[in-house]
Chains A and B, each alone.
Chain A
Amino acid sequence: MQVSMSVNGEDVTREVEPRMLLVHFLRDELALTGTHWGCDTSNCGTCVVLMDGEPVKSCTVLAAMAAGHEVRTVEGLERDGVLDPVQEGFIQCHGLQCGFCTPGMMLTARALLDRVPDPDEPTIREAISGQICRCTGYTTIVRSVQWAAAHGADESVGSST
Chain B
Amino acid sequence: MTTIDRPATGAEAPGTEDLDHVDNDHKPLGHGRMLRKEDPRFVRGLGRYCDDVQLPGMLHLAILRSPVAHARILSIDTSAAEEHPKVVAVVTGAMLAEKGLAWMPTLSNDVQAVLATDKVRFQGQEVAFVVAHDRYAARDALELIDVDYDVLPPVVDVRSALAPESPVIRDDLENKTDNHVFDWETGDEAATAAVFDRADVVVSQDLVYPRVHPAPMETCGAVADYDRVEGKLTLWSTSQAPHAHRTLYALVAGLPEHKIRVISPDIGGGFGNKVPIYPGYVCAIVASIVTGKPVKWMEDRSENLMSTGFARDYVMRGEIAATKEGKILAIRTHVLADHGAFNGTAAPVKYPAGFFGVFCGSYDLEAAYAKMTAVYTNKAPGGVAYACSFRITEAVYLVERIVDCLADELGMDPVELRMRNFIAPEQFPYTTKTGWVYDSGEYAAAMRTALDLAGYDALRAEQAERRARGELMGIGVAFFTEAVGAGPRKDMDILGLGMNDGCELRVHPTGKAVVRLSVQSQGQGHETTFAQIVAEEIGIPPDDIEVVHGDTDNTPFGLGTYGSRSTPVSGAAAALVARKVRDKARIIASGMLEVSVADLEWDTSGGSGAFRVAGDPGRAVTIQEIAMRAHGAGDLPEGLEGALEAQICYNPSNLTYPFGAYVAVVDIDPGTAQVTVRRFVAVDDCGTRINPMIIEGQVHGGLTDGVGMALMEMISFDEDGNCLSGSLMDYLIPTALEVPHWETGFTVTPSPHHPIGAKGVGESATVGSPPALVNAVVDALEPLGIRHVDMPLTPSRVWDALQGRPTPPI
How does the 8 Å CB contact mask read for A128-157 relative to B, with 1 for contact and 0 for none?
A: 111111111111111000000000000000
Binds A, one of B92-100, B657-665, B700-708, B716-724: B700-708
Which of B43, B271, B727, B729 is within 8 Å of A87, CB to CB?
A: B43
Question: Within the assembled complex, what's the spacing in Å between the Cα atoms of A139 and B765?
Answer: 15
Which of B44, B522, B728, B729 is within 8 Å of A98, CB to CB?
A: B522
Give A143 Cβ to nearest chain B Cβ, in Å: 8
Contact A87 B218 (CB under 8 A): no
Which of B49, B271, B703 is within 8 Å of A36, CB to CB?
A: B49
Does B741 touch A at the CB level, under 8 Å?
yes
Chain A minimum-CB-distance residue to B35 = A91
Main secondary structure on A side of the interface with B = loop
Known A83-B43, A94-B36, A97-B525; contact A41-B269, beta-carbon cutoff 8 A:
no
B736 partner residues in chain A, CB cutoff 8 A: 124-126, 128-129, 138, 141-142
Contact B36 A17 (CB under 8 A): no
Which of B35, B46, B269, B301 is within 8 Å of A39, CB to CB?
A: B301
Which of B44, B522, B523 is within 8 Å of A74, CB to CB?
A: B44
Of residues 22 through 54 on chain B, the ones whose CB sits less than 8 Å from some CB of chain A are 35-36, 38-49, 51-52, 54
Question: Within the assembled complex, what's the spacing in Å between the Cα atoms of A78 and B42?
Answer: 12
How does the 8 Å CB contact mask read for B241-274 relative to A, with 1 for contact and 0 for none?
A: 0000000000000000000000000111101000
Does B560 touch A at the CB level, under 8 Å?
no
Does A31 touch B at the CB level, under 8 Å?
yes
Question: Within the assembled complex, what's the spacing in Å between the Cα atoms of A119 and B335?
Answer: 49
Give B26 Cβ to nearest chain A Cβ, in Å: 13
Give B137 Cβ to nearest chain A Cβ, in Å: 10
Contact A98 B52 (CB under 8 A): no
Which of A20, A94, A100 is within 8 Å of B269, CB to CB?
A: A100
Contact B218 A140 (CB under 8 A): no
Does A96 touch B at the CB level, under 8 Å?
yes
Give B720 Cβ to nearest chain A Cβ, in Å: 23
Question: Within the assembled complex, what's the spacing in Å between the Cα atoms of A138 and B217?
Answer: 14
Contact A34 B45 (CB under 8 A): yes
A97 partner residues in chain B, CB cutoff 8 A: 269, 523-525, 697, 701
Does A33 touch B at the CB level, under 8 Å?
yes
Contact A135 B301 (CB under 8 A): no
Known A33-B52, A97-B524; contact A40-B217, beta-carbon cutoff 8 A:
no
Which of A17, A46, A98 is within 8 Å of B136, CB to CB?
A: A17
Does B739 touch A at the CB level, under 8 Å?
yes
Chain A minimum-CB-distance residue to B5 = A139
Known A40-B727, A94-B693, A99-B268; contact A125-B42, beta-carbon cutoff 8 A:
no
Does A121 touch B at the CB level, under 8 Å?
yes
Which of B41, B43, B271, B742 is within 8 Å of A134, CB to CB?
A: B271
Question: Within the assembled complex, what's the spacing in Å between the Cα atoms of A138 and B301?
Answer: 22
Give B678 Cβ to nearest chain A Cβ, in Å: 14
For chain A, the bracket of interface size reads 35 or more
Contact A134 B42 (CB under 8 A): no
Which of B35, B217, B523, B696 is within 8 Å of A46, CB to CB?
A: B217
Contact B217 A19 (CB under 8 A): no
Give A91 Cβ to nearest chain B Cβ, in Å: 5
Question: Within the assembled complex, what's the spacing in Å between the Cα atoms of A96 and B43?
Answer: 9
Does A22 touch B at the CB level, under 8 Å?
no
Question: Within the assembled complex, what's the spacing in Å between the Cα atoms of A94 and B36?
Answer: 8
Question: Within the assembled complex, what's the spacing in Å between the Cα atoms of A94 and B172?
Answer: 49
A121 partner residues in chain B, CB cutoff 8 A: 741
Question: Within the assembled complex, what's the spacing in Å between the Cα atoms of A161 and B702?
Answer: 29
Does B215 touch A at the CB level, under 8 Å?
yes
Question: Within the assembled complex, what's the spacing in Å between the Cα atoms of A91 and B704?
Answer: 21
Question: Within the assembled complex, what's the spacing in Å between the Cα atoms of A88 and B215?
Answer: 28
How does the 8 Å CB contact mask read for A1-40 relative to B, with 1 for contact and 0 for none?
A: 0000000000000000101100010010001111111111
Question: Within the assembled complex, what's the spacing in Å between the Cα atoms of A67 and B737?
Answer: 33
Question: Within the assembled complex, what's the spacing in Å between the Cα atoms of A133 and B735?
Answer: 7
Most B CB contacts (10 A, CB to CB) among A39, A83, A92, A137 go to A137
Contact A41 B217 (CB under 8 A): no
Contact B735 A131 (CB under 8 A): yes
A39 partner residues in chain B, CB cutoff 8 A: 301, 727-728
Total number of residue pairs linking A and B with CB closer than 8 Å: 179
Contact B701 A136 (CB under 8 A): yes
Does B519 touch A at the CB level, under 8 Å?
no
Q: Interface size of B by Cβ–Cβ distance < 8 Å?
A: 58
Contact B38 A99 (CB under 8 A): yes
A32 partner residues in chain B, CB cutoff 8 A: 45
Does B694 touch A at the CB level, under 8 Å?
yes
Contact B300 A40 (CB under 8 A): yes
Known A40-B302, A140-B700; contact A134-B44, beta-carbon cutoff 8 A:
no
Question: Within the assembled complex, what's the spacing in Å between the Cα atoms of A141 and B43?
Answer: 13
Question: Within the assembled complex, what's the spacing in Å between the Cα atoms of A130 and B739?
Answer: 14
Contact B39 A38 (CB under 8 A): no
Contact B701 A100 (CB under 8 A): no
Does A56 touch B at the CB level, under 8 Å?
no
Contact B301 A41 (CB under 8 A): yes
Most B CB contacts (10 A, CB to CB) among A19, A100, A102 go to A100
Does A52 touch B at the CB level, under 8 Å?
no
Contact B45 A38 (CB under 8 A): no
A88 partner residues in chain B, CB cutoff 8 A: 43
Give B69 Cβ to nearest chain A Cβ, in Å: 22
Chain B minimum-CB-distance residue to A104 = B217
Does A71 touch B at the CB level, under 8 Å?
no
Chain A minimum-CB-distance residue to B691 = A94
Question: Within the assembled complex, what's the spacing in Å between the Cα atoms of A140 and B5?
Answer: 11
Known A43-B729, A97-B523; contact A38-B697, beta-carbon cutoff 8 A:
no
Give A5 Cβ to nearest chain B Cβ, in Å: 18
Does A44 touch B at the CB level, under 8 Å?
yes
Does A63 touch B at the CB level, under 8 Å?
no
Which of B217, B704, B742 is within 8 Å of A44, CB to CB?
A: B217
How does the 8 Å CB contact mask read for A106-117 relative to B, with 1 for contact and 0 for none?
A: 100000000000
Most A CB contacts (10 A, CB to CB) among B214, B215, B523 go to B523
Which of B266, B300, B693, B696 is within 8 Å of A99, CB to CB?
A: B266
Of residues 522 through 540 on chain B, the ones whose CB sits less than 8 Å from some CB of chain A are 522-525
Question: Within the assembled complex, what's the spacing in Å between the Cα atoms of A100 and B43?
Answer: 10
12 example contacts (A-B, Cβ-Cβ < 8 A) are as follows A17-B136, A32-B45, A34-B44, A41-B729, A73-B45, A74-B45, A77-B44, A98-B218, A99-B268, A100-B218, A129-B737, A139-B742
Add 16 more A-B contacts to A91-B40, A135-B701, A136-B697 (CB < 8 A).
Answer: A27-B51, A34-B45, A34-B47, A36-B51, A46-B217, A75-B45, A87-B43, A94-B35, A99-B42, A100-B523, A131-B735, A134-B215, A134-B701, A134-B733, A138-B736, A140-B697
